[in-house]
Amino acid sequence: MNLKNSFLLLVLFFVPAFLSAGGDHQNGDAFVAASIGEPVNLLPLFAADSASAEVSKLIFNGLVKYDKDLKLTGDLAESWEVKDGGLRIVFYLRKNVKWQDGEPFTAADVEFTYQKLTDPRIPTPYGGDFEKVVSLAVKDPYTVEVVYKEPFSPGLASWGMGILPRHLLLHENLPATRFSRAPIGTGPYLLKQWKSQDQLLLQANPRYFEGRPLIDRYVYRIIPDQATTFLELQTENVDFVNLSPLQFKRQTDTPFFRRKYQKLKIPSFGYAYIGYNLLSPLFADKKARQAVGMAINKKDIIDVTLLGFGRPATGPFLPESWAYHPGVRESAFHPERAKALLEEAGWSDTDGDGWLDKDGRKFSFTILTNQGNDQRKMACEMVQKRLKDVGIEMKIQIVEWGVFLKEFIDKRRFDAVLLGWQLSPDPDVYELFHSSRAVPGKFNFVSYKNPEVDRLLEEGRRLFGEEARATVYRRVHEILSEEEPYTFLYVPETLVAVHRRFRGVEVGPAGIGHNFIRWFVPEGERRYKSPDRRFWA
């Protein structure tokens, strides 16, 4: 799942490093990445899952983006001015940008994208960032002025949203358009082929305004099973994968892997969590949620499923963030206190069968997680055992990613889920926890509602300056930890393998580098040459 360029669930794509490398002789080869999930919709307005976001960002650009140091820099906007204390932003657009069909990019495309983001008929989860906009005016073909009704601190970052081509989508019904599977963007790669449940094939865009990417093809292979992915890695049929802790620590500690692949630990900006459906009578009472949290041993989960490559989570902000509240501690592992809380909430073993009951109903629920993530499956199994010890029956259901989103998350057909969010440098969590987002198509799918949190999240968006905003978000951290709409589990380290033939890989604050288009493979080390039938459409 993804929250614009703010939140990503299990980000599998990385942004590679800048490398000064010129000359057409370096063009060539293919980069083959493996993903456990298939994209659902490549339109930026609907790219709400990690797989969709990863591919969409190769095809589309926003006005701004984060650089390798997590600072905002220009993308389709060459520069901008923030005026009147944040009430106005004037964007000056690049003049050398063309859509992948050759048409020029202009301010009309920005205006069109804004209109769709704020159209109530368009079920985009990203519209919240644009509700404070009073007007967007096209001053000339390459100048756009955005006016806000009040200061909005995430305003500039929100324009990282991918811009849509007006000339192709003006008369399209966006939620149903075929364009979502055959998009035309301004980005470094063009989608050439999409074979469902198999792969997406992207080709370097010769018109890209920052220069043609040096890697000819980007292949996004869909391999739902981690064991199969690892076999493909062993035969060098994939160039980039996320490794499990076991694979990273032991199974790749061989001369072959050391010779062929770089293994890297990437700083994580995300956390794993159990999210409760607060509309369920099982979890409407916070005491039940708190009891589940106390019954879980987070350290055991980190030691067993992550082999220590992680740390406990205490809330929606990480220690590296200025929004983090250092006084909030992780929920302690305390089974006896968990049992007492459950009894206070009316749950008891009235018939002596070992399971808790209330009003004739057994405390039994199903937790969902996505297929292809062994760590989450193992975590579910460990939670299952701990909950059994306090009298709660938890069943586990593993679901394919696209089905998971469409049939369960979007329709609120779940008791609890084990998922994760990838965080933005900006701590705005309005889309996750504001009550207005507890509707279908939005990210508050657990249906959390708290008037004080609503007020704080609104205030956090009006304030500028880290110190003032930190006070607000630290209070949010306290409330969410106490009310526990999520049980915040752990912050995993991201463990990856990258084939050594690619030059320029470096770990930075934003992950692995910041500029994939300058990666190259020396001619004598290339594996794929046109026309290779596997990766050349």
Q: Could you give the 3-state DSSP secondary structure of residue 2?
A: strand
Whether residues 282 and 366 share a domain: the answer is yes
Give pLDDT tens digits for 268-318: 788 999 999 999 999 999 999 999 999 999 999 999 999 999 999 999 999
Supply the pLDDT for residue 17.
Answer: 26
Whether residues 301 and 311 share a domain: the answer is yes
Q: Which helix (H) or strand (E) holds 512?
A: strand 511-512
Q: Which domain holds residue 252?
A: 11-59+187-264+496-537
Please indicate, yes or no, if residue 202 is contained in any of the structural domains. yes
The domain boundary residue, chosen from 116, 142, 177: 177
Two tokens at 513? 């580098």
Please indicate, yes or no, if residue 6 is contained in any of the structural domains. no
Please indicate, yes or no, if residue 4 is contained in any of the structural domains. no
The domain boundary residue, chosen from 144, 177, 210: 177
Confidence band, pLDDT 50/70/90 cuts, at residue 423: confident
Whether residues 420 and 301 share a domain: the answer is yes
| pTM (two decimals) | 0.79
Kindly give, in sequence order, each residue whose CB lies less than 8 Å from that of residue 443, ignoring residues fewer than 6 positions away: 1, 3, 7, 48, 125, 431, 432, 437
Please indicate, yes or no, if residue 339 is contained in any of the structural domains. yes
How far apart are alpha carbons 279 and 301 in whole angstroms?
Answer: 28
Whether residues 254 and 332 share a domain: the answer is no
Whether residues 92 and 232 share a domain: the answer is no
Please indicate, yes or no, if residue 5 is contained in any of the structural domains. no
Give pLDDT tens digits for 476-534: 999 999 999 999 999 999 899 999 999 977 777 777 756 788 899 999 999 997 666 56
Please indicate, yes or no, if residue 182 is contained in any of the structural domains. no
Q: How many domains does the chain have?
A: 3
β strands within 159-305, DSSP E: 189-195, 199-204, 217-222, 240-242, 261-266, 270-276
Whether residues 528 and 423 share a domain: the answer is no
Give pLDDT tens digits for 195-213: 999 999 999 999 999 999 9
Q: Is the pLDDT of residue 537 over 70?
A: no
Whether residues 167 and 68 share a domain: the answer is yes
Q: Could you give the 3-state DSSP secondary structure of residue 314?
A: coil
> What CATH number does residue 146 fall under?
3.90.76.10
Residue 207: exposed, middle, or buried by beta-carbon count in 10 A (0-12, 13-18, 19+)?
middle
Contact (Cβ atoms closer than 8 angstroms) between residue 353 and residue 365: no
Whether residues 293 and 411 share a domain: the answer is yes
Whether residues 157 and 256 share a domain: the answer is no
Closest of 127, 108, 129 to residue 118, by C-alpha:
127
> What CATH number does residue 293 fall under?
3.10.105.10
Contact (Cβ atoms closer than 8 angstroms) between residue 118 and residue 130: yes
Please indicate, yes or no, if residue 2 is contained in any of the structural domains. no
Whether residues 298 and 433 share a domain: the answer is yes
Whether residues 238 and 289 share a domain: the answer is no
Closest of 356, 366, 381, 350 to residue 413, by C-alpha:
366
Give pLDDT tens digits for 379-419: 999 999 999 999 999 999 999 988 988 899 988 999 999 99
Beta bridge partners of 2: 8
> What CATH number does residue 238 fall under?
3.40.190.10
Q: Is the pLDDT of residue 181 over 90?
A: yes
Mean pLDDT of 236-254: 93
Whether residues 198 and 160 share a domain: the answer is no
Please indicate, yes or no, if residue 91 is contained in any of the structural domains. yes
